[in-house]
Amino acid sequence: MPKPSVTRTATARIPTRYGDFQLCYYTNTLDNKEHLAFYMGDLAHAEKVLARIHSECFTGDVLGSLRCDCGEQLDRALALIANEGTGVVVYLRQEGRGIGLEQKLLAYNLQDQGYDTVDANLMLGHGADERSYSLAASILDDLGVQSVRLLTNNPEKITALQAEGINVAARVPLIIATNAENQGYMITKAKRMDHLLFSKPFSSSHHSDLHEPQPTN
């Protein structure tokens, strides 16, 4: 199946506390959502670009929810990109690992009853993770990125991007400290979704050659 096509319809400078970024608005042939690229520096024909493929998390990114690590990962990614002067966050509108905000709130209620994040999704009739990264790959292609150092703890994201033809040259961890609200969530991601947390090393089947140390600010 061919990659969906994307069209960049608008770009504007966005000054942040980390410096000036460019925000790109994309339409696409796959869905009716507004996916975005937030980048700094010259990405055309660039190799080993520091990149974060970030799925929308309104509760964490905007409201500062402590139930997850999403907002902190986004903030850390922007800081690391600014430190290098070049990099990109591809912001995908796939809330709640693809189930949407309403269903995520219902899943939160189940989690408060004692179910973990995977079982809560399954009880609502969803998959544990329904996200797709085909649009992210198309956006990286549109920006001219040749290869990436991927800011992620999720080996499945590496596999998915590589399947879409993206050259993932290295993985850069985004390890965030746990708190009382998200500790169970983080443990579930590590144990049931194979996220590389708590200093867990890559296994040989999970691209051990892609691991590299966390850059410092």
Burial letters for 96-107: b for 16+ Cβ neighbours within 10 Å, e otherwise?
bbbbbeebbebb
pLDDT of residue 175: 84
Same-domain pairing of 37 and 108: no
Last residue in a domain, options 111, 130, 149: 130
In-domain check, residue 122: yes
pLDDT reading at 13 higher than 60: yes
In a domain, 217, yes or no: no
* Residues with a known catalytic role: 129, 131
How many domains does one find in the chain?
2
For residue range 95-105, list pLDDT tens digits in order.
Answer: 999 999 999 99
Co-location of 112 and 87 in the same domain: no
Q: Do 21 and 124 sit in the same domain of this protein?
A: no
The reply to whether 1 falls in a domain is: no
What CATH number corresponds to the domain at position 185?
Answer: 3.40.50.10990
Residue 6, domain member (yes or no): no
What is the pLDDT at residue 201?
37
Q: Per-residue pLDDT tens for 169-207? A: 999 999 888 888 878 777 877 777 677 765 443 333 344
Range of the domain at 107: 99-130
Is 94 annotated as contributing to ligand binding?
A: no
Tell me: do 65 and 106 sit in the same domain. no
Q: What is the pLDDT of residues 120-166, one digit of tens each?
A: 999 999 998 899 999 999 999 999 999 999 999 999 999 999 999 99
Residues of the chain with pLDDT > 70, as a percent, come to 89
Confirm whether residue 56 is marked as ligand binding: yes
Per the prediction, the chain carries an average pLDDT of 88
Q: Is residue 50 part of a domain?
A: yes
Q: Is 24 a known ligand-binding residue?
A: no
Q: Is 149 exposed, middle or buried (0-12, 13-18, 19+ CB in 10 A)?
A: buried
Residue 59 assigned to a binding site: no
Q: Does 180 map to a domain?
A: yes
Nearest Cα to Cα of residue 104 among 42, 26, 48, 185: 185
Residue 217: CB atoms within 10 Å = 8
Instruction: Kindly state whether residue 184 falls inside one of the protein's structural domains.
Output: yes
